[in-house]
Protein backbone atom coordinates (compact mmCIF):
# COMPACT_ATOMS: atom_id res chain seq x y z
CA UNK A 1 0.00 0.00 0.00
CA UNK A 2 1.41 3.34 -1.01
CA UNK A 3 2.18 5.95 1.57
CA UNK A 4 -0.53 8.63 1.68
CA UNK A 5 2.10 11.35 1.51
CA UNK A 6 3.31 10.07 -1.86
CA UNK A 7 -0.20 10.64 -3.25
CA UNK A 8 -0.40 14.25 -2.14
CA UNK A 9 -0.29 16.85 -4.91
CA UNK A 10 1.03 20.31 -4.02
CA UNK A 11 -1.55 23.06 -4.37
CA UNK A 12 0.56 25.07 -6.81
CA UNK A 13 0.29 22.23 -9.36
CA UNK A 14 -3.50 22.48 -9.25
CA UNK A 15 -3.73 26.27 -9.07
CA UNK A 16 -6.05 27.50 -11.86
CA UNK A 17 -4.73 31.09 -12.02
CA UNK A 18 -2.54 32.51 -14.78
CA UNK A 19 0.74 32.00 -12.94
CA UNK A 20 3.89 29.96 -13.22
CA UNK A 21 5.65 28.47 -10.23
CA UNK A 22 9.26 27.54 -9.59
CA UNK A 23 11.37 26.08 -6.76
CA UNK A 24 8.58 23.68 -5.73
CA UNK A 25 6.04 26.46 -5.42
CA UNK A 26 8.25 28.86 -3.47
CA UNK A 27 8.50 31.25 -6.42
CA UNK A 28 5.56 32.60 -8.40
CA UNK A 29 5.45 34.86 -11.44
CA UNK A 30 3.22 35.82 -14.33
CA UNK A 31 3.02 33.83 -17.54
CA UNK A 32 3.73 36.97 -19.57
CA UNK A 33 7.38 37.69 -18.73
CA UNK A 34 8.25 39.76 -21.80
CA UNK A 35 8.20 43.16 -20.08
CA UNK A 36 9.93 41.66 -17.02
CA UNK A 37 12.79 40.53 -19.26
CA UNK A 38 12.98 43.95 -20.92
CA UNK A 39 13.17 45.66 -17.52
CA UNK A 40 15.98 43.40 -16.34
CA UNK A 41 17.91 43.87 -19.60
CA UNK A 42 17.54 47.67 -19.34
CA UNK A 43 18.98 47.69 -15.82
CA UNK A 44 21.90 45.49 -16.90
CA UNK A 45 22.52 47.46 -20.12
CA UNK A 46 22.65 50.83 -18.37
CA UNK A 47 25.06 49.38 -15.80
CA UNK A 48 27.34 47.93 -18.48
CA UNK A 49 27.45 51.25 -20.35
CA UNK A 50 28.17 53.16 -17.16
CA UNK A 51 31.09 50.89 -16.31
CA UNK A 52 32.37 50.80 -19.89
CA UNK A 53 32.42 54.57 -20.45
CA UNK A 54 32.07 56.66 -17.29
CA UNK A 55 33.78 54.48 -14.69
CA UNK A 56 36.70 53.90 -17.03
CA UNK A 57 37.47 57.63 -17.01
CA UNK A 58 36.35 58.52 -13.48
CA UNK A 59 38.25 55.79 -11.60
CA UNK A 60 41.80 57.13 -12.25
CA UNK A 61 40.72 60.78 -11.93
CA UNK A 62 38.45 60.64 -8.88
CA UNK A 63 38.40 57.41 -6.86
CA UNK A 64 37.86 53.65 -7.30
CA UNK A 65 34.89 54.05 -4.96
CA UNK A 66 32.75 55.21 -7.90
CA UNK A 67 32.50 51.78 -9.61
CA UNK A 68 32.50 49.95 -6.26
CA UNK A 69 29.46 51.87 -4.99
CA UNK A 70 27.78 51.45 -8.38
CA UNK A 71 28.30 47.67 -8.24
CA UNK A 72 26.85 47.49 -4.72
CA UNK A 73 23.79 49.49 -5.75
CA UNK A 74 23.34 47.38 -8.88
CA UNK A 75 23.33 44.15 -6.87
CA UNK A 76 20.86 45.61 -4.38
CA UNK A 77 18.51 46.82 -7.16
CA UNK A 78 18.55 43.46 -8.95
CA UNK A 79 18.01 41.58 -5.69
CA UNK A 80 15.01 43.74 -4.76
CA UNK A 81 13.68 43.41 -8.31
CA UNK A 82 13.87 39.61 -8.30
CA UNK A 83 12.42 39.33 -4.79
CA UNK A 84 9.46 41.44 -5.89
CA UNK A 85 8.98 39.51 -9.11
CA UNK A 86 9.17 35.99 -7.65
CA UNK A 87 7.53 36.43 -4.23
CA UNK A 88 3.95 35.33 -3.72
CA UNK A 89 2.07 38.66 -3.46
CA UNK A 90 -0.57 37.13 -1.21
CA UNK A 91 -2.62 34.87 -3.47
CA UNK A 92 -5.75 33.68 -1.70
CA UNK A 93 -6.52 29.99 -2.41
CA UNK A 94 -9.76 29.38 -4.26
CA UNK A 95 -12.62 27.71 -2.51
CA UNK A 96 -12.74 23.93 -2.48
CA UNK A 97 -15.84 22.12 -3.69
CA UNK A 98 -17.29 21.65 -0.16
CA UNK A 99 -16.63 25.33 0.59
CA UNK A 100 -18.36 26.37 -2.65
CA UNK A 101 -21.38 24.22 -1.81
CA UNK A 102 -21.60 25.68 1.69
CA UNK A 103 -21.17 29.25 0.39
CA UNK A 104 -23.82 28.86 -2.31
CA UNK A 105 -26.21 27.36 0.23
CA UNK A 106 -25.65 30.24 2.63
CA UNK A 107 -26.17 32.75 -0.20
CA UNK A 108 -29.40 31.14 -1.37
CA UNK A 109 -30.85 30.91 2.14
CA UNK A 110 -29.26 34.03 3.60
CA UNK A 111 -28.22 32.05 6.67
CA UNK A 112 -24.62 31.96 7.86
CA UNK A 113 -24.44 29.41 10.62
CA UNK A 114 -20.68 29.50 11.22
CA UNK A 115 -17.83 31.93 10.77
CA UNK A 116 -16.67 32.24 7.17
CA UNK A 117 -13.56 30.04 6.92
CA UNK A 118 -12.55 31.59 3.58
CA UNK A 119 -11.74 34.97 5.11
CA UNK A 120 -8.60 34.40 7.13
CA UNK A 121 -6.71 37.47 8.26
CA UNK A 122 -4.83 38.82 11.21
CA UNK A 123 -8.00 40.56 12.45
CA UNK A 124 -10.64 39.10 14.74
CA UNK A 125 -13.29 38.61 12.09
CA UNK A 126 -16.82 37.33 12.66
CA UNK A 127 -19.53 37.11 10.03
CA UNK A 128 -22.94 38.65 10.57
CA UNK A 129 -25.30 35.68 10.48
CA UNK A 130 -28.40 36.79 8.55
CA UNK A 131 -28.62 38.34 5.07
CA UNK A 132 -31.26 38.71 2.35
CA UNK A 133 -31.44 35.53 0.25
CA UNK A 134 -29.21 35.80 -2.83
CA UNK A 135 -27.03 38.58 -1.41
CA UNK A 136 -23.40 38.23 -2.49
CA UNK A 137 -22.04 40.63 0.06
CA UNK A 138 -21.24 40.10 3.70
CA UNK A 139 -20.55 42.31 6.67
CA UNK A 140 -17.80 41.29 9.05
CA UNK A 141 -16.91 42.74 12.41
CA UNK A 142 -13.36 44.10 12.69
CA UNK A 143 -12.88 45.54 16.12
CA UNK A 144 -15.95 47.70 16.65
CA UNK A 145 -16.65 48.36 12.97
CA UNK A 146 -18.71 46.50 10.38
CA UNK A 147 -16.86 46.12 7.09
CA UNK A 148 -18.53 45.11 3.84
CA UNK A 149 -16.87 42.35 1.81
CA UNK A 150 -17.78 41.17 -1.69
CA UNK A 151 -18.07 37.78 -3.32
CA UNK A 152 -15.58 36.86 -6.06
CA UNK A 153 -17.25 34.87 -8.83
CA UNK A 154 -13.90 33.58 -10.13
CA UNK A 155 -12.38 32.37 -6.86
CA UNK A 156 -15.79 31.54 -5.33
CA UNK A 157 -14.92 33.20 -2.03
CA UNK A 158 -15.85 36.29 -0.08
CA UNK A 159 -12.77 38.45 -0.38
CA UNK A 160 -11.16 39.72 2.85
CA UNK A 161 -10.99 43.50 3.36
CA UNK A 162 -8.55 45.28 0.99
CA UNK A 163 -8.26 42.18 -1.17
CA UNK A 164 -9.03 42.41 -4.86
CA UNK A 165 -9.09 40.18 -7.92
CA UNK A 166 -6.30 40.69 -10.46
CA UNK A 167 -7.59 40.31 -14.01
CA UNK A 168 -4.06 39.70 -15.34
CA UNK A 169 -3.17 36.83 -13.01
CA UNK A 170 -6.77 35.73 -12.34
CA UNK A 171 -6.22 35.60 -8.57
CA UNK A 172 -7.59 37.28 -5.49
CA UNK A 173 -4.67 38.94 -3.71
CA UNK A 174 -4.50 40.11 -0.10
CA UNK A 175 -4.05 43.89 0.20
CA UNK A 176 -3.86 44.11 -3.57
CA UNK A 177 -2.11 47.29 -4.73
CA UNK A 178 -1.76 46.79 -8.49
CA UNK A 179 -0.45 44.43 -11.14
CA UNK A 180 2.95 45.67 -12.28
CA UNK A 181 3.86 44.46 -15.78
CA UNK A 182 7.45 45.71 -15.32
CA UNK A 183 8.07 43.06 -12.66
CA UNK A 184 5.62 40.51 -14.10
CA UNK A 185 3.74 40.07 -10.84
CA UNK A 186 1.07 41.55 -8.63
CA UNK A 187 2.04 43.84 -5.78
CA UNK A 188 0.27 42.81 -2.60
CA UNK A 189 0.69 42.08 1.07
CA UNK A 190 3.67 39.73 0.85
CA UNK A 191 5.88 41.54 -1.67
CA UNK A 192 4.89 45.19 -1.17
CA UNK A 193 7.98 45.95 0.97
CA UNK A 194 10.27 44.48 -1.69
CA UNK A 195 8.51 46.58 -4.33
CA UNK A 196 9.07 49.77 -2.30
CA UNK A 197 12.72 48.85 -1.76
CA UNK A 198 13.09 48.26 -5.50
CA UNK A 199 11.53 51.62 -6.42
CA UNK A 200 13.63 53.61 -3.95
CA UNK A 201 16.89 51.78 -4.67
CA UNK A 202 16.36 52.08 -8.43
CA UNK A 203 15.68 55.82 -8.10
CA UNK A 204 18.86 56.34 -6.07
CA UNK A 205 20.85 54.22 -8.51
CA UNK A 206 19.58 56.18 -11.53
CA UNK A 207 20.39 59.46 -9.78
CA UNK A 208 23.87 58.16 -8.95
CA UNK A 209 24.55 57.25 -12.58
CA UNK A 210 23.15 60.56 -13.83
CA UNK A 211 25.29 62.64 -11.45
CA UNK A 212 28.56 60.90 -12.29
CA UNK A 213 27.75 60.91 -16.00
CA UNK A 214 27.43 64.69 -15.80
CA UNK A 215 30.67 64.89 -13.81
CA UNK A 216 32.44 62.78 -16.42
CA UNK A 217 31.07 64.92 -19.24
CA UNK A 218 32.27 68.10 -17.50
CA UNK A 219 35.76 66.64 -16.99
CA UNK A 220 35.98 65.56 -20.63
CA UNK A 221 34.81 68.98 -21.76
CA UNK A 222 37.45 70.70 -19.62
CA UNK A 223 40.11 68.42 -21.08
CA UNK A 224 39.19 68.73 -24.78
CA UNK A 225 37.26 72.05 -24.66
CA UNK A 226 34.81 70.60 -27.14
CA UNK A 227 31.42 69.22 -26.11
CA UNK A 228 31.07 67.21 -29.34
CA UNK A 229 34.41 65.53 -28.72
CA UNK A 230 33.44 64.79 -25.13
CA UNK A 231 30.23 63.09 -26.28
CA UNK A 232 32.09 61.09 -28.93
CA UNK A 233 34.55 59.79 -26.34
CA UNK A 234 31.74 58.83 -23.94
CA UNK A 235 28.53 58.47 -26.03
CA UNK A 236 26.64 56.84 -23.16
CA UNK A 237 25.85 60.34 -21.86
CA UNK A 238 23.16 60.67 -24.53
CA UNK A 239 21.37 57.62 -23.12
CA UNK A 240 21.75 58.60 -19.46
CA UNK A 241 20.49 62.14 -19.98
**pLDDT, tens digit (0-9, with 9 covering 90-100), for 77-130:** 999 999 999 898 988 888 778 877 777 777 776 556 544 444 444 444 444 455
What domain range includes position 153? 95-161
Q: Does residue 183 fall inside a structural domain?
A: no
Per the CB < 8 A criterion, the answer to whether 111 and 130 are in contact is yes
DSSP 160: P
Q: Are 71 and 115 contained in the same domain?
A: no
Of 161, 180, 203, the last residue of a domain is 161
pTM of the model: 0.77
Q: Does residue 167 fall inside a structural domain?
A: no
Q: Does residue 185 fall inside a structural domain?
A: no
Q: Does residue 181 fall inside a structural domain?
A: no
Per the CB < 8 A criterion, the answer to whether 62 and 164 are in contact is no
User: What is the set of active-site residues?
Assistant: 180
d(CA 50, CA 70): 9
pLDDT for the residue 167: 86
Pairing of strands 185-187, 178-180: antiparallel
Q: Are 83 and 145 contained in the same domain?
A: no
Count of the separate structural domains present in the chain: 2
For residue 89, give the nearest of 165, 201, 9, 10 by alpha carbon. Answer: 165
Q: Are 84 and 114 contained in the same domain?
A: no
Per the CB < 8 A criterion, the answer to whether 149 and 161 are in contact is yes
Q: Which residues make beta-bridge pairs with 19?
A: 30
pLDDT for the residue 17: 64
pLDDT for the residue 114: 46
Q: Does residue 150 fall inside a structural domain?
A: yes
Mean pLDDT, rounded, for 156-185? 89
Q: Does residue 172 fall inside a structural domain?
A: no
Amino acid sequence: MQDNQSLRIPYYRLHPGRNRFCCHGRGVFSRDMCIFTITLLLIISVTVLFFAFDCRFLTPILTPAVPILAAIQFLYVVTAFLRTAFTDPGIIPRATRPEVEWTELSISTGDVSVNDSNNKSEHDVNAVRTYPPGARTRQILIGDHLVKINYCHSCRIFRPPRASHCSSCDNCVERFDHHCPWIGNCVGQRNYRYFILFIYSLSIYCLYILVFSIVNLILLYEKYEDIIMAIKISPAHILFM
